[in-house]
Amino acid sequence: MIRGIKGVKDILPDETARWQFVEQHARQTAGLYGYREIRIPIFEMTDLFARSIGATTDIVEKEMYTFQDRDGASLTLRPEGTAGAVRAYIEHNLAADPLPQKLYYLGPMFRHERPQAGRLRQFHQFGVEFFGTADPRADVEVIALLWRFLSGLGLPDLALEMNSLGLAEDRPAFKAVLLRFLKERESRLCSNCRRRMETNPLRVLDCKVPECRAATEDAPRLTDHLSPEARRHFDKVLGGLSLIGVPYRLNPRLVRGLDYYTLTAFEVTSSQLGAQNAVGAGGRYDGLVEALGGPKTPAIGFAVGLERVTLMLPQGNTPSVQRSVYVAAFGERGSSAGLTLVEELRALGVSANTDYRATSLKAHLRQADRLRSIYAVIVGDEEVSKDFLVVRDMDTKQQENLPLKGAAQSIALRYRSDGERAFSR
Ligand code: HAM
C-beta of 325 in contact with ligand 1 (< 6 A)? no
**DSSP helix/strand/coil, 120:** coil
Q: Which residues of 136-157 are buried (b: 16+ CB within 10 A; e: fewer)?
A: bebbbbbbbbbbebbeebebee
Nearest-CA residue for ligand 1 atom 22 is: 305
Domain boundaries, the chain: 13-167+227-317, 321-413
Encode pLDDT of 102-126 as tens digits. 999 999 999 999 999 889 999 999 9
CB distance 334 to 313 below 8 Å? no
pLDDT for residue 425: 61
Encode pLDDT of 148-198 as tens digits. 999 999 999 999 999 999 999 998 899 999 999 999 999 999 998 999 898
Cβ atoms within 10 A of the Cβ of 293, count? 11
> In terms of CATH, what superfamily is 321-413?
Anticodon-binding domain (3.40.50.800)
Kindly state the average pLDDT of the residues 409-423: 92
Give the Å distance between the CA of 201 and the centre of ligand 1: 21
Ligand 1 atom, smallest distance to 129 CA: 33
Residue ranges of the alpha helices (H) in 244-278? Answer: none
Strands 352-353 and 375-379: unpaired
47 vs 361: CA distance, rounded Å: 63
Query: Ligand 1, from 306, 308, 311: best to mutate by most atoms within 8 Å of Cβ?
Result: 308
Give the residue among 124, 117, 108, 112 at the shortest CA–CA distance from 5: 112
C-beta of 302 in contact with ligand 1 (< 6 A)? yes
351 half-sphere exposure, CB direction, 13 A CA radius = 13
203 vs 196: CA distance, rounded Å: 7
94 vs 273: CA distance, rounded Å: 38
Encode pLDDT of 323-373 as tens digits. 999 999 999 999 999 999 999 999 999 999 999 998 889 999 999 999 999
Nearest-CA residue for ligand 1 atom 13 is: 305
Strands 101-110 and 388-393: unpaired
Tell me the angle at which helices 228-243 and 136-152 cross, rounded to the nearest 10 degrees: 40
Nearest-CA residue for ligand 1 atom 10 is: 280
pLDDT for residue 322: 85
**At CA 398, angle to CA 392 and CA 400, rounded to 5?**
60
Give the residue among 223, 219, 175, 169 at the shortest CA–CA distance from 197: 175
Query: Ligand 1, from 52, 80, 116, 161: best to mutate by most atoms within 8 Å of Cβ?
Result: 80
Give the Å distance between the CA of 36 and the centre of ligand 1: 20
User: Under CATH, what is the fold of the domain 13-167+227-317?
Assistant: BirA Bifunctional Protein; domain 2 (3.30.930)
C-beta of 84 in contact with ligand 1 (< 6 A)? no
**Residue 316 predicted with pLDDT over 80:** no
Nearest-CA residue for ligand 1 atom 25 is: 80
Q: Which residues of 194-206 are buried (b: 16+ CB within 10 A; e: fewer)?
A: eebbeebbbbbbb
Kindly state the average pLDDT of the residues 12-31: 95
